[in-house]
Structure formats: structure tokens, C-alpha cells
Amino acid sequence: MNRIILIGNGFDLAYGLKTSYADFIDWYWEQRINTLKSEHTNESDDGLCKLIINYGIWSSYYTDASTFDKLSIYDILNNIQSQKDKFKVIPSRLFQGIITELNDKKWVDIENEYYNLLTSIDDSDEIKGINNELSIIKKYLADYLKEIEKNTANPSINYDIENILFKPILAKDVAVSSSEVFWDIIDDRLKYKEQKLNELIDGYHKIQYNPSHVKEFKEKGGSVDCIKAETSGYPIELLLPDRIMLLNFNYTDIADKYFPKNSDKFIVNHIHGTLNNFENIIFGYGDEQDKTFKDLQKRNDKESLKNIKTIKYLEAPAYRKLLAFMESSPYQIFIIGHSCGQSDGTLLNTLFEHKNCISIKPFYYKNGDTDNYMEIVQNISRNFTDMKLMRDRVVNKTQCEPMPQAE
């Protein structure tokens, strides 16, 4: 009996890292404006946004405008955008959609914006153009996240988070339809010899979890019925996952620090790649259940499916590694910092509706009297085709808890 922990950007945000797309766009503008200082032409184009000055050249503009040294990047940008007789700001098609969405809603999902634009056009040259734009954004994003990692001191382990990752699988969290499977596993574990019991507990906190607790329980005549009744003193060691996979959707490695390196028991799987290998980074969209996806498949060109995640998974072993883990044993899912949005729809559906999935437990963000539990659950539901199964497998709010915020 295993556990798969979905790690999303909310995990890095909990560490105070500015890894949201809004933060990234702020950084992009800073880089973009600063490059103008060395532009000895009147036109600057990076493939996302063309900036034109109608008099002189950009480098002279900076030299002459000494007062701008006291202004923020956004003050300079607003100055350029507001003086349309002197300057032109021409965003590319994809980037225009991104900044419009960001201005309107104060947040943006770049992958969703890409997919919405992709499905709205059918000209192969235009599609190739937005694919090139996405590649430029991907490169900027990787550079930004590398800078974030470089400027982040080695983050300390948060013990509240650690306790969540390695906690036992609670019977009350298990789907009703999976309860028989769950109790059969616990009954089987009660019959473990000392060596196999030690293998189960190996790697967990030695003080908190101890094989002697199981031995004492059995000597007192303890049984599965005692555990079902939550009799005082039953050994929680019997409820520990055999193996845990940290399924990290982030390109950063902050969450990886909670797991030992090169472990067969506690496994880190960067499903979308890492910053150390830019070519293997997966950045795009992945919801085959979307009704417009079949239209993309019917297009007779190589560009329409170029950035579809479910196809990009075939370029690296991470996806098959996940499938093998899913097939190996019943598993519980923890969701920590992942919004469960549609851009990962197909993968999430595969995880959520698999025959071995026995529980889906979201850890929600709490801010004062408000939280996002219902928002996460609504997103989870969109990745199910069987709503009855969804209601059985998703743990209700009274048994869930807020995600700890790292200090």
C-alpha cells in the first residue's frame, strides 16, 4: 500500500518563493526594459514584445532620461505605454492574451492561455508562430526559476510538512469501495515476521514509529477489529505506506529535500522535468478530455500537438515510472500545493480513476476565515468522468487540514 504526493506551485509559494506566473511576468518586464539600455536601434524585439521608439535609439533614450534612474521598471513601462506618439508597444499574439488576462484578473495561467489560442486558430503558420512564442516563454521561465533557486538560501525542513508527507494512511480517509482492500492489507501486515515489519518501518522516524509497538499489540491479542474500533494503543506503524512517490510538477527542487536521495522507498519523480535539463522540460497543455482536443488530433500538421503534455511524456521515462508505481499496489493520493487544473487533466484523470486509487486527500490553503478547499475539490471533479467515484474517493473537508506554511 503506497502513497503518491502531488506537489504543485503552491508548495514553493508556501516557502515564500515568488514562483507564480504573475511574479514571473513582473520579472520579465524588468529584464525586457533593462535590455533597452544596450539597444543601439530604435526597435527592440525579443519575440514576445516589440518596443519601438519614434525618435533616436533606445540607448540614447536611457542616457538622456537620467530621471528614470529614480523610477521603478513599471513606472518606465507605463511611461512608454502612455506616450503613444513617441513609443509603440506591440505584444505578440500569445503574450497579449497573457498580459490582458493578468491585468483583468490579477493572475494568469499561461498554459491555459496557450491552449485557448491554439484551439482558436487553424492556420499552420500561425500555430507555428505561437509555438515559437511558447518556447521563448519557456526559456525565460527557466531562467527566472534558476535565479529564484540561486537566490534562495538552502531552505530548512518544516517539520509540520514532514509529518504530513510521512504520516500513516488513516482508515477514515479510505474510499468506502476500497475499505475491504485496505483492511485485507492491514490484516496481512499483522502476520508479518520481524524482518518484513522492519522493512515496512525502515526510513520512517525511529522515535515516532517502532516495530516493538506492533509486537506488544499482537502479544496482547490485538487484531484488525481492534484497529477498526480505534482501540487505544493500536500500532499506527501498520498503517504506514510501503513506498511514497513525490510526484513533483514543479521544475524547482525545494520539495525534493524532504526525501533521501537515490531511495527505492521514497521516490522523487519530476513529471515535467527539472531546471537541470532544459530540453526535457514539459510546458504546454494536457487535457485529452477537452472536447476541442479531438479537433486538434484531426489537423494534418505537426505543430498542433507539439506542446501537448500527454505526447511530450513519451520523451522521458518519468511517466512510465509513474504508471509502474500505480500498478504495483493500492495507493493514496495527497495533494499539496497543486490546483488540479485542466492543463494536467489527462494525467490527473489517470491517477484519480485508476483501480488502485483508494483515497484522494487535498491539503488546502487557509487565510484567516477563508480557504480554497472547495476550489480544489471542484477542480478535482473536472478530472473525473465518474462523479460517484469522485465523491467516494475524495476525503471530505472535516477530515482534511490546511497545508502548513513554511517559515
pLDDT for res 290: 86
Extended beta strands in 233-390, E state = 244-248, 266-270, 331-336, 357-363, 366-367, 370-371
Which pLDDT tens digit goes with each residue over 313-331?
999 999 999 999 999 999 9
pLDDT tens readout for residues 27-39: 999 999 989 888 9
β-pairing verdict for 266-270 and 370-371: unpaired
CB neighbour list of residue 177: distance below 8 Å, 6 or more residues apart: 389, 392
Q: Is the pLDDT of residue 333 over 80?
A: yes
Percent of the chain, pLDDT > 70? 97
Mean pLDDT confidence for 375-404: 96
pLDDT interval class at 65 (50, 70, 90): low
Position 251 scores a pLDDT of 97
pTM for the predicted model, two decimal places: 0.94
pLDDT computed for residue 237 by the predictor: 93
User: How does residue 207 score in pLDDT terms, banded at 50, 70 and 90?
Assistant: low
pLDDT value for 72: 80
Question: What confidence score (pLDDT) does residue 263 get?
Answer: 93
Higher-confidence residue of 395 and 14: namely: 395
Summarize the confidence of residues 86-96 as an average pLDDT: 95
- Shortest CA distance to 148 belongs to which of 15, 259, 270, 281? 15
Q: In this structure, what DSSP letter does residue 252 have?
A: S
Q: Which residues pair with 366 in a beta bridge?
A: 371
Q: What is the pLDDT of residue 332?
A: 98
| Assigned C-alpha cell, 122 | 487553424
Residue 151 confidence (pLDDT) = 87
Whether 356 has a pLDDT exceeding 60, the answer reads yes
CA atoms within 13 A on the CB side of 263: 19
**pLDDT: is 65 or 310 the higher one?**
310
Least confident of 12-21, 169-178, 288-297: 288-297
Is the predicted pLDDT of residue 341 greater than 70, yes or no? yes
Please report the pLDDT score of residue 146 as a whole number. 95
What value does the mean pLDDT take over residues 371-400?
97
DSSP for 161-215, please give it.
HHHHHT----GGGS-GGGHHHHHHHHHHHTT--HHHHHHHHTTS-TTT--HHHHH
For 179, 243, 354, the CA distances from 182, given in Å and listed in that order, are 5, 15, 16
Q: Which amino acid is at 21?
A: Y
Angle among Cα 300, 303, 309 to the nearest 5 degrees reads 110
Choice among 231-235, 311-315, 392-396 with the minimum mean pLDDT = 231-235
Instruction: Report the distance separating Cα 347 and Cα 353, nearest Å.
Output: 10
Distance CA 145, CA 142 (A): 5
Q: How confident is the model at residue 69 (pLDDT cuts 50, 70, 90)?
A: low
Q: Find the range with the poorest average confidence among 223-227, 252-256, 288-292.
A: 288-292
232 pLDDT band, cuts 50/70/90, is confident
d(CA 202, CA 102): 47
Report, as an integer, the average pLDDT of 356-371: 95
One-character DSSP codes across 328-372: HS-EEEEEES----GGGHHHHHHHHTSTTEEEEEEEB-EETTEE-
What pLDDT shows up at residue 233? Answer: 80
Say if residue 406's pLDDT is above 80: no
pLDDT of res. 407: 60
Over 90: is that where the pLDDT of 359 sits? yes
Mean pLDDT, the chain, integer: 92
What per-residue confidence (pLDDT) applies to 329? 98
Cβ pair 108, 102 in contact under 8 A: yes
